[in-house]
Structure 1
């Protein structure tokens, strides 16, 4: 996989370039009528949806955390709370998520967020050599090793996805 510098110009791609992490940038024309951004990415890029991961901001008590799960699965909030040492978890408010990350919903990347939050990647990612995550805007995906994603974000893994 060839490494590309920050040609897409998002904080996510800038961070990967700065860290020297090998990655590939993939883009497609986003349909504004699409309701499920991750599913749209998988379809338009002809990639197994299990390899395309969505970034979700979660309120785990007194802080926000980042959950990264496959687009064809849902987030188990109880498991996310447990992974963050909290008894409860709920989806973060849309405006709070956008303020915290500097990205818009549908384009929130787990990389290069304005304010860093604890990140938990669903353990299913480790079964793949590479996964796709948002590049920081709708229609932009980054392909990289799940281990490199964890390294770039100081993230951890847990069983987060529900059917």
Structure 2
């Protein structure tokens, strides 16, 4: 995978990946402002199987903000996330707090290049793919990279934290 910095150049995610020497490909697309399901929008517009496109969710696990990365085709299992991080309960983080902590706007929160590091868990389904797509740090911009590279740059663990949608 070649590094691409033209589309989305300068997002904290692309800067962090470039600085770390991690290969990625940027995929810019026209974001529809009326869309609220940002991850599924990326899958549809980019013509991708939704199981390869992952959404970044900020959560509160044991009073600490944590990042959960799950396929856009499913939902986050909060109990499984809590267990993966050694706690009993997890909840979705306050959106304003998620934006302040990550440095990104909702719908553009990337797991890479966040303002403050948070414990990160990647759904283990990512390991079945050579490359996956995550937000590149703004709405309408995804980055494609190897799951192992995402794990490395975010210091993530993997666990079965996603549920397929019914």
The two structures have a TM-score, normalised by structure 1, of 0.98
> 1:53 offset after TM fit, Å?
0.2
Map of 1:80 onto structure 2:
81
Separation in 2 of the partners of 1:108 and 1:34? 15
CA RMSD of superposed structures (Å): 0.9
**Structure 1 runs (4+) greater than 3 angstroms displaced:** none
Q: Deviations over 1:73-108 (max 9, x none)?
A: 000000000011111000000001001000001000
CA contact (8 A) 1:58 1:90 kept: yes
Give 5+ residue unaligned stretches, structure 2: none
The two structures have a TM-score, normalised by structure 2, of 0.96
> 1:5 offset after TM fit, Å?
3.9
Separation in 1 of the partners of 2:26 and 2:158? 24
Q: Deviations over 1:123-158 (max 9, x none)?
A: 000000000000000000000000000000111100
Give 5+ residue unaligned stretches, structure 1: none
Separation in 2 of the partners of 1:24 and 1:17? 11
What's the secondary structure of 1:136's corresponding residue? strand
Higher strand fraction: Structure 1 or Structure 2?
A: 2
